[in-house]
């Protein structure tokens, strides 16, 4: 009996200990445990991922539109999936509202490659778009366009009776180009005319010249750079050696009606005129980062007295060179205000021969002057009374800008 009572008391004691331990833990947990479950300051923040540069988009709108076309479009039995995808890609780039960014399908990519390589079939002019109008940026020398009398800033209203208001420069270029010997009809308007005029121009094989070099009187050299295309890499090296051998006392660098070209080409050319390491341009990458492009050298032409000629057809890479020479060497710029294209485009190859030309940055002169939509103001403004175009033969009587350049350079050499 005593053993039984003893066992019961032990059991009760153990139970009380267990219950006491449980109650103690419960009380302590009630007192402190709820605090442990409070969110930390970081956990109180929603959307913890780094901010996105562009908000998320819902692609269902695109596919819903595609489905509507498949279900309801009257010509759905003739749909071309490849063309639809190319059109959508083109529209995506156009949504940037940047006149210099563009999608190229395989066909237009080939045309662009031919143009930059320096050879194609057409009428021989650089075109661009400004204020909603397709314009002649510059007619190339000794081409059907220049012989027909087309001028920088002529508006191209129609190509073969097709309205150009919705065309990109590349689309227009494809329409203007064609088999050798065939004609293209252009409706052109010039601000000095009362009404637009029709030009029927026969297409030719166009070999884009890179530059022209010759010695003038009084030991003055004349260098005209027509554009900064691919062949310039080789031709300028040879010309720079000729200039060094001729040892001109002064040099006129003519960049009038030069529409630009490769950034690498202008940096390479600038290297002959600037000491190694000097800044040729500053590139604004759009995220607060500024990239400096410096002269690669050799700078062997830097000690020659120079002046630069520009006009409204001077654009892009040619504005880079003019700005670099003025900012670094105090070279005087003569002529009229330049075009004002201060952005850099990169060609990105896509699958199946397609390509995107995308604006990746905007450039500044070495002193930080913005060229985009501003252009370069000349130090000495001179306008030509006659519209000379992209001529080949120099004429000091008709070309007031060139005449002024010779005068200014002559005065600098005499001092």
> Does residue 217 carry a catalytic annotation?
no
C-beta atoms surrounding 70 within 10 Å = 11
Q: What is the pLDDT of residues 313-345, one digit of tens each?
A: 899 999 999 999 999 999 999 999 999 988 888
Task: Give the Cα-Cα-Cα angle 140, 301, 395 (nearest 5 degrees).
Answer: 40
Q: Which of 341, 343, 361, 399 is catalytic?
A: 341
Structure confidence at residue 388 (pLDDT): 60
C-beta atoms surrounding 88 within 10 Å = 13
65: left (phi over 0), alpha (psi -120 to 50) or beta: alpha
User: Could you give the CA distance from residue 88 to residue 158 in angstroms, rounded to a whole number?
Assistant: 25
- β-strands 197-202, 125-130: how paired? unpaired
Q: Which two tokens stand for residue 195?
A: 């009404």
Q: Which of 154, 268, 284, 327 is catalytic?
A: 327
| Mean pLDDT computed over 210-233 | 89
Q: Are 103 and 114 in contact (CB under 8 A)?
A: no
User: Could you give the CA distance from residue 399 to residue 385 in angstroms, rounded to a whole number?
Assistant: 8
Q: Which two tokens stand for residue 150?
A: 């087309």
Cα 255–chain centre separation: 19
**What b/e readout covers 151-161, taking b as 16+ CB neighbours within 10 angstroms?**
bbbbbbbbbee
Mean pLDDT of all residues belonging to the chain: 84
Share of the chain above pLDDT 90, in %: 47
Q: What is the pLDDT of residues 269-278, one digit of tens each?
A: 999 999 999 9
Q: Of residues 153 and 376, which shows the higher confidence score?
A: 376
- Who's near 405: CB < 8 A, 6+ residues apart? 252, 307, 309, 334
Q: What is the pLDDT of residues 63-113, one digit of tens each?
A: 999 999 999 999 888 999 888 988 899 899 999 988 888 888 877 766 666
Q: Residue 131 — very low, low, confident or very high, per pLDDT cuts 50/70/90? A: confident
Structure confidence at residue 175 (pLDDT): 92
| Mean pLDDT computed over 286-305 | 93
Structure confidence at residue 209 (pLDDT): 77
> Does residue 351 carry a catalytic annotation?
no
SS3 string of the chain? CHHHHHHHHHHHHHHHHHHHHHHHHHHHHHHHHHHHCCCCCCCCCCCCCCCCCCCCCCCHHHHHHHHHHHHHCCCHHHCCHHHHHHHHHHHHHHCCCCCCCEEECHHHHHHHHHHHHCEEEECCEEEEEECCEEEEEEECCCCHHHHHCCCCCCEEEEECCEECCCCCHHHHHHHHCCCCCCEEEEEEECCCCCCCEEEEEECEEEECCCEEEEECHHHEEEEEECCECCCHHHHHHHHHHHHHHHCCCEEEEECCCCCCECHHHHHHHHHHHCCCCCEEEEEECCCCCEEEEECCCCCCCCCCEEEEEECCCCCCHHHHHHHHHHHHHCCEEEECCCCCCCEEEEEEECHHHCEEEEEEEEEECCCCCECCCCCCCCCEECCCCCCCCCCCCCCCCCCHHHHHHHHHHHHHHHC
Instruction: Compute CA distances 221 → 10, 103, 239, 380, whole Å.
Output: 118, 42, 12, 20
Structure confidence at residue 117 (pLDDT): 57
> Does residue 341 carry a catalytic annotation?
yes
Structure confidence at residue 39 (pLDDT): 39
Q: Residue 38 — very low, low, confident or very high, per pLDDT cuts 50/70/90? A: very low
Structure confidence at residue 138 (pLDDT): 77
User: Could you give the CA distance from residue 100 to residue 94 in angstroms, rounded to a whole number?
Assistant: 10
Structure confidence at residue 227 (pLDDT): 86
Cα 251–chain centre separation: 29
Angle at which helices 81-94 and 60-72 cross, to 10°? 140
User: Could you give the CA distance from residue 337 to residue 359 in angstroms, rounded to a whole number?
Assistant: 23
User: Could you give the CA distance from residue 415 to residue 399 in angstroms, rounded to a whole number?
Assistant: 25
**Residue at token pair 């201060």:** 342
Structure confidence at residue 395 (pLDDT): 79
């Amino acid at each position: 009996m005593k053993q039984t009572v003893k066992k019961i008391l032990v059991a009760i004691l153990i139970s009380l200990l267990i219950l006491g331990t449980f109650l103690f833990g419960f009380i302590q947990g009630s007192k402190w445990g709820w605090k442990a479950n409070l969110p930390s300051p970081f956990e109180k923040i929603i959307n913890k991922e780094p901010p996105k540069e562009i908000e998320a988009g819902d692609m269902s709108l695109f596919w819903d539109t595609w489905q509507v076309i498949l279900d309801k479009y009257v010509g759905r039995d003739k749909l071309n999936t490849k063309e639809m995808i190319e059109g959508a890609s083109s529209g995506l780039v156009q949504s940037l509202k940047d006149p210099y960014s563009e999608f190229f399908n395989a066909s237009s990519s080939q045309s662009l490659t031919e143009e930059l390589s320096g050879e194609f079939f057409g009428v021989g002019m650089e075109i661009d778009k400004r204020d909603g109008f397709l314009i002649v940026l510059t007619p190339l020398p000794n081409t059907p366009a220049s012989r027909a009398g087309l001028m920088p800033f002529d508006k191209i209203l129609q190509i073969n009776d097709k309205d150009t208001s919705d065309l990109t420069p590349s689309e227009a270029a494809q329409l203007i180009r064609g088999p050798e010997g065939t004609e293209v009809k252009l409706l052109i308007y010039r601000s000095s005319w009362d009404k637009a005029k029709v030009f029927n121009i026969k297409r030719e094989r166009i070999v884009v010249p890179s530059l022209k070099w010759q010695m003038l009187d009084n030991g003055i050299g004349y260098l005209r750079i027509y554009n900064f295309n691919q062949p310039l890499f080789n031709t300028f090296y040879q010309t720079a050696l000729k200039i060094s051998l001729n040892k001109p006392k002064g040099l006129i660098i003519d960049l009038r009606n030069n529409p630009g070209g490769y950034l690498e080409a202008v940096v390479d050319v600038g290297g002959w005129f600037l000491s190694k390491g000097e800044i040729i341009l500053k590139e604004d990458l759009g995220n607060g980062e500024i990239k400096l492009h410096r002269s690669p050298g050799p700078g062997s032409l830097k000690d020659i007295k120079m002046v630069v000629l520009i006009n409204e057809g001077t654009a892009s890479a040619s504005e880079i060179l003019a700005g670099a020479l003025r900012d670094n060497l105090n070279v005087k710029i003569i002529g009229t205000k330049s075009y004002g294209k201060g952005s850099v485009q990169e060609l990105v190859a896509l699958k199946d021969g397609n390509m995107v030309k995308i604006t990746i940055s905007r450039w500044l002169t070495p002193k930080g002057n913005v060229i985009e939509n501003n252009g370069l103001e000349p130090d000495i403004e001179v306008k030509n009374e006659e519209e000379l175009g992209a001529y080949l033969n120099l004429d000091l009587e008709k070309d007031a800008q060139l005449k002024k350049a010779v005068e200014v350079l002559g005065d600098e050499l005499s001092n």
